[in-house]
Amino acid sequence: MALTLRATLRPSVTFAEPISITCGEKAGRVGRAEAARKEQTNMTRAGQVLTVVVVASLGIWGCAQGTNGESAEQIKRLENDCKVLKEDYRSVAAARDRLRQQVSDMEGEKTQLQKDLEAEQALVKEHQALVKERDELLQQISARTTERDAVQGQLEQVRKGLRSLLGQTEAAIAPPTPALSTTAPAGSNKS
């Protein structure tokens, strides 16, 4: 016959699983389990008390160590090191800020130079186009000059041809002119 009971030994301790109370051989085992649990609870309290005592004694010992002269010197040395590190940090931070400003300025200058370069490249392309146009115009002028010289030469030949024709035509049309005598008329002697 087995009875299942939920029992509390103390108001602060409850068992999560039900305890079985039986008669006979099993009853001895249950009693031992309960005794082991009580011992565990007592051991836990003893461990807690021991922990508190150890922590308190270490705290007292640590406070007693702080009055040493060596630790005061070490504290001063560490404070000086801290001051030096703070000064180093400030100088490094100032250098960092200065370098960031320089980088920003250089990026602005780079952008301006890029724009100037693009403008220069546009001017170079325009200059090349103008040089090409100039060369083409020079070739056209040379061709026109050659044409003009050729036409002027032809005009001169036509003019000479017209003059010779005009001279031939005048010669053919003009009446023969009397020949002039080399003798002088009789009444025209002058003395």
Residue 107 lies in a domain: yes
| pTM reported for the whole predicted model | 0.37
Residue 60 lies in a domain: yes
Q: Which residues contact 61 (CB under 8 A, 6 or more apart)?
A: none
The number of distinct structural domains making up the chain is: 2
Residue 86 lies in a domain: yes
From the centroid of its chain, how far is CA 102?
A: 14
Q: Are residues 99 and 60 part of one domain?
A: no
Q: Write the single-letter amino acid at 15.
A: F
pLDDT at 13: 46
pLDDT at 189: 54
Per-residue pLDDT of the chain (191 residues; tens, 9 = 90+): 444 444 444 444 454 555 555 555 555 555 666 766 666 666 688 888 899 999 999 888 877 765 566 777 888 999 999 999 999 999 999 999 999 999 999 999 999 999 999 999 999 999 999 999 999 999 999 999 999 999 999 999 999 999 998 888 888 886 666 656 556 555 555 54
Show the domain range for 115: 81-158
Q: Are residues 139 and 89 part of one domain?
A: yes
- What DSSP assignment string belongs to 102-158? HHHHHHHHHHHHHHHHHHHHHHHHHHHHHHHHHHHHHHHHHHHHHHHHHHHHHHHHH
Q: Are residues 8 and 51 part of one domain?
A: yes
Residue 59 lies in a domain: yes
Q: Are residues 126 and 101 part of one domain?
A: yes
Residue 24, by phi and psi: left (phi above 0), alpha (psi -120 to 50) or beta? Answer: left
- Contact of 38 with 18, CB cutoff 8 Å: no
Q: Are residues 48 and 114 part of one domain?
A: no
Residue 182 lies in a domain: no
Q: Are residues 135 and 102 part of one domain?
A: yes
Tokens at 91, concatenated: 């100088």
Q: Are residues 94 and 57 part of one domain?
A: no
Residue 165 lies in a domain: no
Three-state DSSP at 53 gives helix
Q: Which residues contact 16 (CB under 8 A, 6 or more apart)?
A: none
Q: Are residues 54 and 7 part of one domain?
A: yes
Q: Are residues 146 and 86 part of one domain?
A: yes
Question: Parallel, antiparallel, or unpaired: how do β-strands 2-5 and 19-22 relate?
Answer: antiparallel
Residue 180 lies in a domain: no
Q: Are residues 93 and 60 part of one domain?
A: no
Looking at 12, 41, 65, the residue that finishes a domain is 65
Q: Are residues 85 and 151 part of one domain?
A: yes
pLDDT at 113: 96
Residue 167 lies in a domain: no
